[in-house]
Amino acid sequence: MADDVEFIGVVKRFGDFTAVRDLNLTIKEGEFFSFLGPSGCGKTTILRMVSGFIDPSEGEIRLGAQPLAGLGPNKRPTALIFQNLALFPLMTVEQNIAFGLEVRRVPAAERRRKVAQMLELIALPGYAERRIDELSGGQKQRVAIARALAVEPKVLLLDEPLSALDLKLRQHMRAELRAIQRRTGITFIYITHDQGEALAMSDRVAVMSQGSMEQVGLSADIYDFPETAFVASFVGENNMFAGRVVAASNGAAQIDTPFGRLSGLNPRRLAAGDEAFAFVRPERLRLTPPGSQSFNTIQSTVLGRVFEGVQVNVTLASPAGRPVTLTMSNDGETPAIEPDAALKVHFAADSTRILPRSGLARE
């Protein structure tokens, strides 16, 4: 409770451009919180406002109920990990990690102890004397984390620090970051455009678009229960059917689409006549009718089939242009599907979300 980060009506403008619009949010102490969004959505601006490099145009950011306004970046109990890491190339690993401690006039012996402890934490003991250019990408990554954690910040801010790593290492570092966060109990605020990263590591995720927060929630909720067309189209793969609501009742709705009438959940309480999109995940599409009471069926022809190892993606022609994708897991029972074959696919109404028609994520 004590060291929550609160955004109260935070707005940031650069000239005529509004980078962040009216942000109201509380990030709890000890939480791993991610801002997820495409580039230019305002997430880096938020991070720079928390770290103190820029000031909000309106509103206030508080840490542990204390306003941060007026404190320079060198006075804030936050630490930032830069996208390019910004390690000091003329210093050794030890000097890098000890930099913030030296600033705080920590005695030399204590500094050495702390550096050793940090190197232990990032699993690089014995690297104290190494030069930065002798380290691999993943090692640099860890040194940057150690340098930031050494000053014992209340909040660690991470600006897409994994984006420069290759896929294998990135996945490994995700787990490591998550483990370090659990061990230290420090609030992590993580910025990324990579949804896999955000979903895999975070307690909660805020999806950002054009300076506004589209949705905040648990990772699984963001994926399974998107509340806006942007979130549905940005996070994960989704099939989309545009249409008009013809009937709505009790959290459910029906929508007329080029594929015919589809039933789905109606979380945003749309009314008959509203323009809407229906979304359904490719992995929720089935070749056999599901057992549930209410399901949709569409008929189409196969455009192609892409084998991806763990799964097989089948694309189906759509009268509305964008093809429909069906994902089957490669479980040994995947039926052989050839292009141009006619195919019927089914999906449960409970897996279908009908959302107001609004801006989609750009492909």
Contacts with another protein, residue ranges (CB under 8 A):
51-53, 72-75, 78-80, 82, 84, 86-88, 90, 99-100, 103-104, 147-148, 151
If you count them, how many residues does the chain have?
363
Q: In the complex, what is the shortest distance from the CB of residue 80 to another protein, in angstroms, rounded to a whole number?
A: 5
* Nearest CB to another protein, comparing residues 82 and 225: 82
DSSP output for 165-230? S-HHHHHHHHHHHHHHHHHH--EEEEEES-HHHHHHH-SEEEEEETTEEEEEEEHHHHHHS--SHH
Q: What is the largest CA-CA distance in the chain?
A: 75
Q: In the complex, what is the shortest distance from the CB of residue 3 to another protein, in angstroms, rounded to a whole number?
A: 18
Q: How many CB atoms lie within 10 A of CB 176?
A: 17
**Which residues contact residue 312 at a Cβ distance below 8 angstroms, ignoring those fewer than 6 apart?**
305, 306, 327, 328, 329, 330, 334
* Nearest CB to another protein, comparing residues 149 and 216: 149
* Nearest CB to another protein, comparing residues 87 and 222: 87
* Nearest CB to another protein, comparing residues 57 and 83: 83
Phi, psi of 172 (to 5 degrees): -65, -45
Q: In the complex, what is the shortest distance from the CB of residue 172 to another protein, in angstroms, rounded to a whole number?
A: 24
Q: Is the dihedral of CA 148, 152, 153, 158 positive or negative?
A: positive
Q: In the complex, what is the shortest distance from the CB of residue 120 to another protein, in angstroms, rounded to a whole number?
A: 20
Q: Judging by beta carbons within 10 Å of its beta carbon (0-12, 13-18, 19+), is residue 303 exposed, middle or buried?
A: middle
- The residues with which 275 forms a beta bridge, in sequence order, are 244
Q: In the complex, what is the shortest distance from the CB of residue 316 to another protein, in angstroms, rounded to a whole number?
A: 47
* Nearest CB to another protein, comparing residues 86 and 272: 86
* Nearest CB to another protein, comparing residues 189 and 199: 189
Q: In the complex, what is the shortest distance from the CB of residue 86 to another protein, in angstroms, rounded to a whole number?
A: 4
